[in-house]
Amino acid sequence: MSRTVTRSYEHHADAETAVTRLEVAGLSSEDISIIGYQTATFADDAAAGAEVGDAVGGGAGLLARLAAMPVPGVGPVLAAGWIFGTLAVGTNSGATARTLIGAMAGAGFGDDEAHYLAETIRRGGAVVMVRTSDSHAPAIEKIMQGAGPIDDELRRAEYRREGWTRFDEQTAPYPPSA
| pLDDT at position 98 | 56
- Total count of domains within the chain: 1
Per-residue confidence band for 177, with pLDDT thresholds at 50, 70 and 90: low
Residue 145 located in a structural domain: yes
Cα 52 to Cα 70: distance, rounded to the nearest angstrom? 27
Mean pLDDT of 43-68: 57
Mean pLDDT of 69-98: 67
pLDDT higher than threshold 60 for residue 72: yes
Domain that includes residue 22, residue range: 2-161
Per-residue confidence band for 76, with pLDDT thresholds at 50, 70 and 90: confident
Per-residue confidence band for 18, with pLDDT thresholds at 50, 70 and 90: very high
Residue 178 located in a structural domain: no
Residue 57 located in a structural domain: yes
Q: What pTM value is reported for the model?
A: 0.81
Check if the beta carbon of residue 35 is closer than 8 Å to that of residue 71: no
Residue 177 located in a structural domain: no
In angstroms, the Cα distances linking 91 to 72, 95, 107, 165 are 15, 6, 8, 23
